[in-house]
Chain A
Amino acid sequence: MSISKWHPGKLILLWSWGGLFAALALTQFLGSKVESSPIAHLVELLIALLILLALSVVTWKWLSGRESN
């Protein structure tokens, strides 16, 4: 994935949407007991973790080598 021009606003946008979906998934995960539906809970937790992981990777990649002035 490449970005034509780096801008902190794009990262803020990505993290906002990503954080929202991760929070929703985490809320679903925490909302009921695991024993009621273990598979669904596993999927919800994985979605939350994967979103945060993907955003971290993207941020790390875009920000690598850039030094603040």
Chain B
Amino acid sequence: MTRKLTNKPLILAFLFFITASAQTKPKVPPPVPQAKVELVTTKQSIPKNFKTYSLFLICNPQWLDPAKNAGLLQLYHQFQSFGRAIGDDHAAVWFWKSNSYEHNDAALAQIVDVERSVRFCQAWKLTPSEGPHLVITGTYPDESHLSTGLPKDSAVYKLGDMAPPDISALLAKLTDELIASGKVDSPTGPPAPTPPARLWVHLLAATQQTINSFGCAWSFKINAGPVSADLKSCKTS
């Protein structure tokens, strides 16, 4: 009995150690998607499990001119800031061939993975001269199934004719929309051309115009001494 009581603190200490070691066991955190994605090699695929994918596509050969390096670098920095600002649920993708972009901007144009961008531009029917393009889509851009075309829930922005401040403003607006609603509105381009009206519609419109003009052609006047009235069919402004 005496021996049993003596061993009791030892047993309690052992149990405490086991419990404490079980509690302090390091847990593996779930993989958290990164907001900013920079694909540096052609072998890397676009990561999945993001709400939206913002792809920066450079298919315009003018942007590969070494003289454009400064502009390209500025564009990249703008996009980089955009990728950081849109949060962890949204991916910003820029295709590089190598990871030396931050150190050597003289060869910046050479390390842009144009070939990969061109595959997207061809499949999604984006005009290279209007680029660079920013495509924001809620569907995973599966490079092995590009032939299915541009996903329906996509917005395409043509940055070719935009000045850097305008691009910054656009990216800020897109950031707001992505953060607020998790999606972006389609860019408002020129209104779609209305289909040409048929002949009978033209005739009907002409009839209406004729009747209207005929109705406006008359006026009615009454002049009865102290009382006079002037009735006109149409109010002219």
Q: Is B197 an interface residue (CB 8 A)?
A: yes
Instruction: Verify A30–B208 contact, CB threshold 8 A.
Output: yes
CA A29 – CA B210 in complex, angstroms? 12
Instruction: Verify A29–B208 contact, CB threshold 8 A.
Output: yes
Mask, B187-218, CB within 8 Å of A = 1, is 00000000001101100110110011001000
Inter-chain contacts of B204 with A (CB < 8 A): 34, 38, 41-42, 45
Q: Is A55 an interface residue (CB 8 A)?
A: no
Most buried by B among A26, A29, A33, A34: A34
Q: Is A35 an interface residue (CB 8 A)?
A: yes
CA A68 – CA B200 in complex, angstroms? 44
Inter-chain contacts of A38 with B (CB < 8 A): 197-198, 200-201, 204
Please name the residue on chain A nearest to B215 by beta carbon.
A30
SS of B interface (majority):
helix
Mask, A26-69, CB within 8 Å of B = 1, is 10011001110010011001000000000000000000000000
Q: What number of residue pairs across chains A and B have CB atoms under 8 A from each other? A: 27
Q: Which of B198, B200, B211 contacts A30 (CB under 8 A)? A: B211
Instruction: Verify A33–B205 contact, CB threshold 8 A.
Output: yes
Inter-chain contacts of A33 with B (CB < 8 A): 205, 208
Inter-chain contacts of A29 with B (CB < 8 A): 208, 211
Most buried by A among B197, B207, B212: B207
Inter-chain contacts of A35 with B (CB < 8 A): 197, 201, 205
CA A34 – CA B201 in complex, angstroms? 7
Please name the residue on chain A nearest to B197 by beta carbon.
A35
CA A39 – CA B211 in complex, angstroms? 18
Inter-chain contacts of B200 with A (CB < 8 A): 38, 42
Inter-chain contacts of B198 with A (CB < 8 A): 38
Residues of A within 8 A of B (CB): 26, 29-30, 33-35, 38, 41-42, 45
| 27 A/B residue pairs, CB under 8 Å, sorted by A | A26-B211, A29-B208, A29-B211, A30-B208, A30-B211, A30-B212, A30-B215, A33-B205, A33-B208, A34-B201, A34-B204, A34-B205, A34-B208, A35-B197, A35-B201, A35-B205, A38-B197, A38-B198, A38-B200, A38-B201, A38-B204, A41-B204, A41-B208, A42-B200, A42-B204, A45-B204, A45-B207
| Interface pairs A-B: 8 shortest CB-CB | A34-B205, A38-B201, A34-B204, A34-B208, A41-B204, A42-B204, A30-B212, A30-B208
